[in-house]
Structure 1
């Protein structure tokens, strides 16, 4: 079992619950931080001292309390950790349940587990830790399994990224259609572009194209 774990969580009551859960499965050294900047520097220092953390359990959202922070979310922390510590095991423990958010963390940031912070969250967290330690399989809370199930999940493709990226550049649907035809990409008709963008707006709950671009940027898609 993991010997040294860092928990990144800003609510004391959640800290206590996680601490009890981790102690129950025999984790010896459990450290806690409430800020993402602090988490990154603690992980970096431990690595320099040849006493690295083996697992990080992090929330995604953190309350603002006036303390200046460069890393303002768990996702920003994970993104930075992946660039420096590619082998570090990471489990997200969050109330967030949006499929595209989970897909991004799983496919692009290569997290090892995603646990939904609900009434069964701590029970699932223990299962996730065991799964991550003993197997190479991605663990996700059963209630969220459809978020990454290939038959149920809505996959954001390179085609979708191309559409949103060109929207961000200010191109109209007619312009995007023309660009697709020049690249030999199908479907490329204006109606096809319009239909897919309408679907993406509905999927991301975006009010308009500008809002869709903003959401895509927030999730690191463009």
Structure 2
């Protein structure tokens, strides 16, 4: 089992639960941090001192208490950590349940597990650690597995990016259709554009085109 674990979580009661859960499976070397910057510095320092962490457990959202931070979210922490420590195992422990968010973390940031922070969360966290350690396979909480699975991740195409980018510049569907035809891209019909935009809005839980553009920008798609 993993011997050295870092937990990035800013709620004390949750940290207490995680500590008990990890100690129950024999892990004693556990560090806790409440800020993402502190987490990154600990990861970096441990590596330079030849005593690296074997696993990082991180929440995604951290309350802003006024302390200046370069890394303001668990996603930013994971992104920076992955650039330098590609082999480090990472489990997200969060209340977030949006399909695309989880798929983005899995596909683009290469997390090793996603545990939904609910009443069964600590049990699932232990299960996730066992799965990742023994099989090296991605783990996701069963409650999310029925609707979200890495193999079912939406593949964002160049067509999708062009549609959203065009919307962000204020283009109407008729103008987008003309642009696609000029590029020799198919499908280019207005009906095809409407159908794909409807699908994208539903997938991203966007209420309107403007909301869709905002979500896409958050994920760096445009």
Task: Find the counterpart in structure 2 of residue 89 from structure 1.
Answer: 89
Deviations, residues 102-159 of structure 1 (Å, cap 9, x unaligned): 1100111110000000110000000000111111211000110121164xx4614213
Match of residue 155 from structure 1 = 154
**Which has the larger displacement, 91-100 or 195-204?**
195-204
Q: Secondary structure at the match of 1:207?
A: coil
SS of the residue aligned with 1:194?
helix
Structure 1: runs of 5 or more not aligned: none
SS at match of 1:202: helix
TM-score, normalised with respect to structure 1 = 0.92
CA distance, structure 2, for counterparts of residue 34 and residue 6 of structure 1: 11
Deviation at 1:53, TM superposition (A): 0.9
Name which of structure 1's ranges 24-33 and 157-166 shifts more when overlaid on structure 2.
Answer: 157-166
Mean Cα displacement is larger for which, 138-147 or 197-206?
197-206
- Correspondence for 1:206: 206
2:48 matches 1:18: no
Aligned residue for 2:127?
A: 127
Count of residues in correspondence between the two structures? 220
Q: Secondary structure at the match of 1:147?
A: coil
- Secondary structure at the aligned position of 1:6 is classed as strand
Aligned to 2:65: 65
Whole-Å Cα distance in 1 between the matches of residues 19 and 8 of structure 2? 12
Q: What CA distance in whole angstroms lies between the structure 2 residues aligned with 1:178 and 1:46?
A: 56
Structure 2, gaps ≥5 residues long:
none
TM-score by structure 2 length?
0.92
Partners of 2:149 and 2:180 lie apart in 1 by 28
Give the superposed CA RMSD.
1.7
Structure 1 consecutive aligned stretches of length 4 or more whose deviation exceeds 4 Å = none
Which moved further from structure 2: 113-122 or 132-141?
A: 132-141
**Cα distance in 2 between the residues matched to 1:135 and 1:165:** 40
Task: Return the alpha-carbon distance in structure 1 between the equivalents of residues 171 and 48 of structure 2.
Answer: 47
Question: Matches of 2:202 and 2:120 in 1, distance apart?
Answer: 30
1:153-192 correspondence runs (5 A): 153=152, 155-158=154-157, 159-192=159-192
